[in-house]
Amino acid sequence: MQEHPFQFARKISTLDHASRGRIAWNIVTNGLPNGARNFGLPSLTPHDERYRWAEEYMKVVYKLWEGSWDDDALLQNRASGRHGDSTKVHRINHVGEYYQVEGPHLCAPSPQRTPLLFQAGSSRTGMRFAARHAEAQFLITPTPAIAQGVIQQTRTLMQEYGRAPEDIKFFQGLSFVIGSTEEEVARKNRALDEALDYEAMIAHLGGIMDIDLDHGSLDDSISALQTEGAQSLLDWVRAAVPEREPTVGDIGVLAGRASRISGTPEQIADRLAVWQAIGIDGINVVNATIPGSYREFIAHVMPVLQARGLARRDFTSGTLRQRLCGRDRLAPPHPAARYRGMFHS
Ligand SMILES: Cc1cc2nc3c(=O)[nH]c(=O)nc-3n(C[C@H](O)[C@H](O)[C@H](O)COP(=O)(O)O)c2cc1C
C-alpha cells in the first residue's frame, strides 16, 4: 500500500521474468505509525481499514497481472516483425476508493504472472484476508496448540471462498539452540540469553504492536490493551502465559524464547514432528547469528529431518509456485483468476 500498485506490479513482473518465476510476495498491512508518517499519512490507518485498502490493492494488481495481457498477446515473431498483438493487451480502467489505474500493464506475462502470495497477520480480519488471497501464511505462534487454532479458523474461513484446505501452506517461525549433549544445549542457551537484549526486542515488537514504552514499566499488564497495530502478535504474547497476567516484558519472551527450540538434533526433530502433526507445512529458521544459525541447522538438524522423511532431499525444478503448489499459475476459485479474459479495451 505504501508503493503505488501500478509501479509495484511492474517491478514484480520484472523480477519474476529475471528469476524465471521465483518471486514470492509477503502481503502485510504493517502496524507502524512512523511508517505511515514516512509516506505522508498523518497517523497509522485504523487496523481494519488497512485490510480494506489491501483488498483494493489486490484487485488492482490482479487486474494488471492476470487480466491485462491475454495468453497469446506476445508474438515475438521475427518473420512478421510483430512483437505483440495489441488487440490482446488491454486497459484495466480500475476506478476505486483508493486508486484509479487505467493500464495496460507494462510487462509481458511473467512465468507466474501473480507472484506466490504469502501473508502475515492473523487477527480476525487478517485471517479472513489470508483465507481469500494467501497461498502461504507466516506464523510465529508460541505453541503448536495455538498454531492449530489459527490453522483451523483460517481453513473454516477458506470454505466461504470455495478454497480447499491445502490451498494455504502454513510456515511457523522458529529459532534453534542445537547441541550434541544436554549440557552443551544448556550452556548455549545461557550464552544466548546473556547476549539477547530483551528490551531492544520489546522495543522492536512493541513498535509494530503500537505500544508506547516511554510511559510505563516492563511489569505493566497488557491484558486490557487494544491496538490498531499488529493484533495477532499481541494475542500470541497473551496466549503464551495463560496462567498469569501478561506484561510488557512478555513481548520480549515471545520474540526471544517462546519460539525457540533447544536440544540435540534428534530432540529437535521430535519437536518439529509435533508442529507438522498439527498442520504446519514448513518452518522459517529465525537466526540468532548470521550465517551461523543456518549453518548449524543445515549441518546438524537437516540430515536427521531428511532421514525421518520430514524434509526433502532433492528439489524439483520450475517456478516457485510449481515447487510449492504443483502449478505455475493461480487457479480458480482464487480471486486473481477471475480477471483473465475480463478486459477488452
Ligand atoms: C509472522 C508475522 C510476520 C510479519 N512480518 C511483517 C513484515 O515483514 N513487514 C511488516 O511491515 N509487517 C509485518 N508483520 C506485521 C503485520 O503487518 C501487522 O501485524 C498487521 O497489523 C497485520 O497483522 P494482524 O492481522 O495480526 O493485525 C508481521 C506480522 C506477523 C504476525
pLDDT in tens, the chain (345 residues): 689 999 999 999 999 999 999 999 999 999 888 899 999 999 999 999 999 999 999 999 999 999 999 999 999 999 999 999 999 999 999 999 999 999 999 999 999 999 999 999 999 999 999 999 999 999 999 999 999 999 999 999 999 999 999 999 999 999 999 999 999 999 999 999 999 888 888 888 888 888 877 777 889 999 988 899 889 989 999 998 999 999 988 888 877 777 899 999 999 999 999 999 999 999 999 998 899 999 999 999 999 999 999 999 998 899 999 999 999 999 999 999 999 999 997
Q: Is the CB of 112 under 6 A from ligand 1?
A: no
Q: Tell me, what's the pLDDT at 82?
A: 95
The pLDDT of residue 1: 62
- Ligand 1 mean position to 225 CA, how many Å? 18
**What's the pLDDT score for residue 122?**
93
Evaluate: CB of 123 within 6 angstroms of ligand 1: yes
Atom of ligand 1 nearest to the CA of 231: 27
Atom 15, ligand 1: residue with shortest CA distance: 30
Ligand 1 within 6 A of CB of 247: no
Answer whether 29 contacts ligand 1 (Cβ < 6 A).
yes
Q: Are 329 and 112 in contact (CB under 8 A)?
A: yes
Please report where in the chains the cell 480500475 appears, as a residue.
Answer: 94
CA of 331 to the centre of ligand 1 (A): 26
Cα–Cα distance measured from residue 315 to residue 299, given in angstroms and rounded to the nearest whole number: 18
Residue closest via CA to ligand 1's atom 5 equals 120
Classify residue 133 by burial, with Cβ atoms within 10 Å: 0-12, 13-18, 19+: buried
Write the CA distances from 313 to 142, 277, 284, 302, integer angstroms.
28, 20, 18, 9
Q: Whose CA is nearest to atom 10 of ligand 1?
A: 30
Specify the pLDDT at position 310. 95
Helix axes 124-133, 231-239, angle to 10 degrees: 120
Residue of minimum CA distance from atom 7 in ligand 1: 28
Q: How many angstroms is it from 126 CA to the middle of ligand 1?
A: 9
CB of 230 closer than 6 angstroms to any ligand 1 atom:
yes
Ligand 1 atom index nearest CA of 236:
31
Q: Is the CB of 28 under 6 A from ligand 1?
A: yes
Residue closest via CA to ligand 1's atom 19 equals 230
CA of 304 to the centre of ligand 1 (A): 32
Beta bridge partners of 171: 138, 282
Distance 30 CA to ligand 1 centre (A): 6
How much distance in Å is there from the Cα of 12 to the middle of ligand 1? 20
Which of ligand 1's atoms lies nearest the C-alpha of 233?
31
- Residue 232 near ligand 1, beta carbon < 6 Å: yes
